Amino acid sequence: MDLGDLLRLEAVVPAMKAKSKRQVLQELAGRGAIVTGLSERGIFDVLLQRERLGSTGVGHGIAIPHAPLPGLGRPVGIFARLERPIDFESVDGLPVDLIFTLLSPLGAGADHLKALARIARVLRDGEITAKLRASVDASAIYALLSHGPTTDAA
């Protein structure tokens, strides 16, 4: 799976302004509503519910919020680079500034897990994350993410 299959240019937020995890989730839900045509409130609710189970802050300034979403036909990604890192209750305690959100159809199971693994693999690449942090251009960020590391153990 390629991140280009999940992400569209209009789903990239190159310089999000947010002061809290909740505000980030609200902004992501708004962008998710634009790219999916589904309810912003519904998206926010599933993301918030997932965060209540445990933080999706995976460390090194990265979070990967993810949740199944009723009415969604295919997995959808939303990426945000925060202007200023925020506390996301990450596993390493570090603030987060790179967020890749994955919304999947209900019952996506294995496809959802494969997509999460691919996102994590791309965001583990220090060269890519350094370039993401340095860029404020949505097109450049989209290109980096959609053409990330080509090695994919499927």
Annotated active-site residue in 60, 66, 112, 147: 66
Q: What is the CA radius of gyration of the chain?
A: 14
Distance CA 72, CA 6 (A): 13
Distance CA 5, CA 125 (A): 19
Told to judge if 112 belongs to the known catalytic residues of this protein, a careful annotator would answer: no
Distance CA 53, CA 69 (A): 16
Enumerate residues 6+ apart whose C-beta is below 8 A from 52: none
Active site residues: 66
